[in-house]
Amino acid sequence: MLTQVAEGVLVHQSELLRNNTAVVLGPAGVLLVDAGITGDEMACLANDLRESGLPVVAGFSTHPDWDHVLWHPELGEAPRYGTARCAAAMRDLLANADWKSRVAEGLPPEIAEETPLDLFGRITGLPVGATRIPWEGPEIRVIEHPAHSPGHAALLIEGRRVLVAGDMLSDLFVPMLDDATGTNDPIEDYLVGLRLFEDVADKVDIVIPGHGSVGRADQVRARINQDRAYLHALRDGEVPDDQRISSPEPGWEWVSDIHEGQRLRFAPGSARDTAR
């Protein structure tokens, strides 16, 4: 089901991981950001758009994690953009003869049979340093940053005051740190991303995270501050005051496992801390 969150911006949410697909209306059709994760859900989205007379004219993947680079034949053959680094990561993966089995091994077992991989990862890289989506719709600023994943980018839909944040600013997930971002300090990489978000926060009334609920005006800075506080506590070896770690919601207990793994990796005195 499509839900309008701002003028000309809608959201379609998947069931299992609550992935958010942002749909941005343009004069000739729509831009899809992070298309979804199961075949049935993406086909449902395609049908809703078709019934509304809205063809897909472009796609965008915020980063190269498996659940953000999927596509479905019914969504059409529009170009699917990403940052140059996101596209390079996908090219490197797809160059392996066993790429499909590698990806399949990382899928949640609940949806492994329902996740189509035939169009997986076919991303067209924007020029290095590009700051705009090349389409005829509203101006969309690309905010590339080093947080969470190589080639990660958020999108600022400037005329709509909407920030599509990728896998950040979630009310469900704590910040997830990735060693593949290219430095030896994933915490600082993430803080860089948050600072870039803070720089545009006055231009944002709506934030669409990769997973979880859409945040309204006063929640934008609150979520930035919450993620920063979590990272500072992790870096300083303190216990984060963060309700996401011990979510009472059934099925989301594994978020605490993510935190525990990160606590052990980044605790003061750990091998990683010594290397920093």
Q: Quick one: how far is CA 235 from the chain centroid?
A: 23
Taking the C-alpha atoms of residue 103 and residue 101, their distance in angstroms, rounded to an integer, is 5
Give the model confidence (pLDDT) of 4-32 as tens digits.
999 999 999 999 899 999 999 999 999 99
270 pLDDT tier (thresholds 50, 70, 90): low
- Per-residue pLDDT at 267: 83
User: To the nearest 10°, the Cα dihedral for 165, 170, 175, 178?
Assistant: -50
252 pLDDT tier (thresholds 50, 70, 90): confident
Give the model confidence (pLDDT) of 138-175 as tens digits.
999 999 999 999 999 999 999 999 999 999 999 999 99
- Per-residue pLDDT at 233: 96
Give the domain range for residue 144. 2-275
Give the model confidence (pLDDT) of 91-148 as tens digits.
999 999 999 999 999 999 999 999 999 999 999 999 999 999 999 999 999 999 999 9
- Per-residue pLDDT at 70: 98
> What is the tally of structural domains in the chain?
1
Query: Does position 249 have pLDDT exceeding 80, yes or no?
Result: no
For residue 113, the tally of other CB atoms under 10 A from its CB is 10
Residue type, 49: L
CATH of the domain at 177: 3.60.15.10
pTM given for the model: 0.95
Taking the C-alpha atoms of residue 165 and residue 176, their distance in angstroms, rounded to an integer, is 14
Look over the chain and give the mean of its residue pLDDT values, rounded to a whole number: 94
- Burial bucket for residue 274 (CB in 10 Å: 0-12, 13-18, 19+): exposed
Give the model confidence (pLDDT) of 59-79 as tens digits.
999 999 999 999 999 999 999
Taking the C-alpha atoms of residue 45 and residue 13, their distance in angstroms, rounded to an integer, is 10
Taking the C-alpha atoms of residue 244 and residue 263, their distance in angstroms, rounded to an integer, is 14
Query: Does position 84 have pLDDT exceeding 80, yes or no?
Result: yes
